[in-house]
Every structure is written in structure tokens, then in C-alpha cells.
Amino acid sequence: MAHAALTGVNLAFYGATGPGVDRASALSVMDSLMTDPAVGAPLLLGHYVFTLGVLLVAVAVIRSRQLGRWAGWAVVAAVVSDIVLGSLPVPGLLGDVVSGSLLVVGFAALGLQLMRDPQSRPAV
């Protein structure tokens, strides 16, 4: 839901740049969206909860021993590289490319394995 709310904030920013919008009112709304903790905290918390969910899926894949464990480790490495490269003085694009690539490779491998091999599907 936090990602949906973030999309709503981005749409509000886009709407505030329209030609018929009162600039003072738009600035007031933008300032509230950017500085009010009641708006920012749930959006930021959503990112942490999403990351925690991704890590839990990766740990479940690793521990299950039914799917490619390397794919679970690739997802873990994606999260770790995003955190580490995001805190180092390197270009932001480098961290995005590395972590995004690891995440796509890990989840794509899991998806392909689940679609191809019916025996590897976990029992429900």
C-alpha cells in the first residue's frame, strides 16, 4: 500500500505543475507532503516492510532446499548490495544496476524453475 500511496504523492506533484494551478497553494501541498511525518513515515515504513518481505522470501527459498538455493542467495545479495552501495560514495546508478540485476536474476530463476519443474513446487 505504501507504493500505491507513493504513486498518489507523485500524481499530486504532477498535478501541482499544471498550467491553471495556483502556485502558492501547490507549494503549500508539496511542502506538507515532503515535511509532514504523518505522510512520510508510512511511505518510508513501506519500503522497509517490502525489503523485509523480499528477504523472508529469499531465506525461505534457501532453507527449503527445493528450489535453486543460489537464486535465494542472489536475492539476499541484491538487498545487501543496495544497502552497502547506497551508503558508499559511488554513483547511485551503480548501486541500482547491481542490486536490480541481482534481484531480477534471482527472482527470474525462481520463477522459471517453478514454471518448468512441477516437482520443485512446494507442497501446500
Buried b (16+ CB within 10 A) or exposed e, 42-62: ebeebeeeeeeebbeebeebb
pLDDT in tens, 17-66: 888 888 888 888 888 888 888 877 877 787 788 889 999 999 999 998 88
Kindly tell me if the per-residue pLDDT of 120 is higher than 60: no
Q: Taking the model in full, what pTM does it have?
A: 0.67
Question: Angle at the Cα of 40 (from 35 to 46), degrees rounded to 5?
Answer: 165
Domain boundaries along the sequence of the chain: 1-35, 43-123
Kindly tell me if the per-residue pLDDT of 124 is higher than 70: no
Q: How many CB atoms lie within 10 A of CB 108?
A: 12
Look at residue 63 and give its three-state secondary structure: helix
Q: In angstroms, rounded to a whole number, what is the distance separating the alpha carbons of residues 30 and 16?
A: 8
